[in-house]
Structure 1
Amino acid sequence: MSDAVQRADFDRYMVPVFAPLDMIPVRGEASRLWDQQGRDYIDFGAGVAVTALGHAHPAQVKALTEQAGKLWHVSNYYTNEPALRLAKKLCDATFAERVFFCNSGAEANEAALKLARKRAVNKYGPEKIDIIAFNGSFHGRTFFTVSVGGQAKYSSGMGPNPAGIIHVDLHDEAAVRRAVGRNTCAIIVEPIVGESGVVPVDPAFLRLLRELATEHDAALIFDEVQSGNGRTGALYAYMNTGVVPDIMTTAKGIGGGFPIGAMLTTAAIADEHFTPGVHGSTFGGNPLACAVAEAVFDVIRSPEVLEGVRRKAAHAARRLRAMGQQYGLFSEVRESGLWLGCELAGSMQGKASAFMTASAHNGVLHIVAGPNVIRIATSLVISDEELDEGLDRLEKTCAQLSAR
């Protein structure tokens, strides 16, 4: 029996919850990928903002191979050195004093929401369980997090959602003031809303959420699964807002491609309410994952990398806006570091998936944020040359689609 595989095998063997492109990447280096036929692509998607250092970065390869020769897994009956080193670095670099490691952003948000409810119920009783979330948000694919996320299409058809979840529109001050009350245990928000189009939340609105959470003794949760780990040019997006959350979640880029998530919070919240046995994760804090994440974190938090993100993002935004004017396909380009959302217009309005497919044929891989936004999330250390080459290929796509 042959070990050779092809795209058709996906349709033959895989549960069809995804619809991948026809090509199969087999090798990556920096911000370039090659498929089975040897065609090369500039990677402007970074595995949905995951491969923060691109592909096969030497620091990651070294950390993984060294740790693989030492210790793979010990379970949470014990601790391990890579987890402790990474936790200390995260606490030293942020508001946090405690870290919980898991495997994904969904698990990090699940932990955050459980902690917020546990804290509120412990302090005030079983009525204080309401979670305020926002329409258009996305917080993961567990049943709890997908219910909290503000996109009903992801949670419908599976029976009743968990109780106590209230959705309001972003930036609707009156609505959020009506929604937050004595039974509110948490307010959860993405500082930059990713899946609905890379939309930054007004810092004034975040300040309002902070005030309301404090007034009603609810936990303010910032979901920085995508916006964290240098993506915006700040180490974490909250650092540019003047607002400090009680709980922050992150994943994606922190592992640079190795699955890991983290929930960060204060000692006052964690120590009293998440005691041994209340929550856990079999693979959370895995030595391999933490060793790789520590190497990634050491690179992305350097001033040189963060300044480079801001500089390259400004350059990419200028070029994309020029494309929008020349070809009439982008009505707006939103930039939050190397995380850009291009709102489609003209003949391509509502056709983000078709745009993505056309781009792939021209050798540039990007992603989408809903049916009308092209989402670009490059490696944070993409070279100037690869960035411009990818933008050239994207402009070729614009020219072709505009001509049609």
Structure 2
Amino acid sequence: MIIDKAEVIVTSPDRNFVTLKLTTNDGHTGLGDATLNGRELSVVAYLQEHVVPLLIGSDASRIEDTWQFLYRSAYWRRGPVTMAAIAAVDMALWDIKAKAAGMPLYQLLGGASRSGLLAYGHASGKELSELFDSIRSHQDQAYRAIRVQTGVPGLKAIYGIASQAADAGGGEARYDHEPARRGAKPMQEDWDTRSYLRHLPGVFEAVRNEFGPELPLLHDGHHRMTPLQAAKLGKELEPYDLFWLEDCTPAESHEALKLVRQHTTTPLAIGEVFNTVWDFKDIVRDQLIDYVRGAVTHMGGITPLKKTMEYASLYQIKSGFHGPTDISPVGMAAQMHLGLAIHNFGIQEYMQHGAKTDEVFEQSFTWQNGLLHPGDEPGIGVELNADEAGKYPYEQAYLPYNRLADGTMHDW
């Protein structure tokens, strides 16, 4: 199986996606997700100018060797652009190999370890009544676990709250799917950590009182707290039995997570901005987290994330793979196959893509009774409709950014 064609496809149905399509001389095709939210074209250039020329004429069956070549031969290693490009190649090669074998990818990864994947959705609201409605809506959609994000009194626009944006006709439309707003400049949001810390425990008390003790609840701090603030919040949330507290403080600091761990038993999830096992190595070894938040798309593909999870399994740490809508259906499907196969699966983040995206990416995975399954089509189980993709050219988009009340830049 010799690669004789490599295409980098950029399309923007509900948001921008970057997809690598490889074709072999015997007619097999494979897809890989290379989407880097808000910096998509940097990966496009990396693939088109530096990676695609290296792939033509190479053996598509040599997945491990190709991964090592792309990682080691450039000398400049790691980083989100490099690893997203390598991830796309890795996914596409696994897709090809599984199609050639005539079986779904999870079978090549060791076979299924479970019948389906528990997934969580994103509920949010500016006020409690709106939040409760959002939780009920997610339960109606069969979600068995729900992330809870809330407005904070005095703050106008903050992370995680489904907001309003003008649609093409000048009306108002829910902007649930793309926090990276289309436009020439990013949108500014505001933040006050002390207000957030005062408000959040009461929100979780109200949610527990309304929905009972059985519903798994999650929350994302989005890197905004100091270690001491994160430790305080984790302690105050203990009575509400969170499934996890995510990204409570910037995880680059090993010592910061030690401080948090010393003060709370609330489970911690970290790593959606990590790129390699080296980012996870010490915090896994020292058992400072409970869930690995890496993504196939940003960690260099299926090959290294599987190794990372095997390492994490030595310390009873489970997966919690990153899965908002900036992971394309190709990346989501790849994660589902990996999650189905590994023993230490924990939960899968799952934001449902918009209708236009589902027309561009034809998918075989299913969502039933709160469980995801990648399906049993050969390969990853996603095909790209080129005609539909061509209807939606790239549109400039940026993630929002944060400033404090005095104008200081803060982590978004």
What is the TM-score normalised by the length of structure 1? 0.35
Between Structure 1 and Structure 2, the one with more helix by share is 1
* TM-score, normalising length: structure 2: 0.35
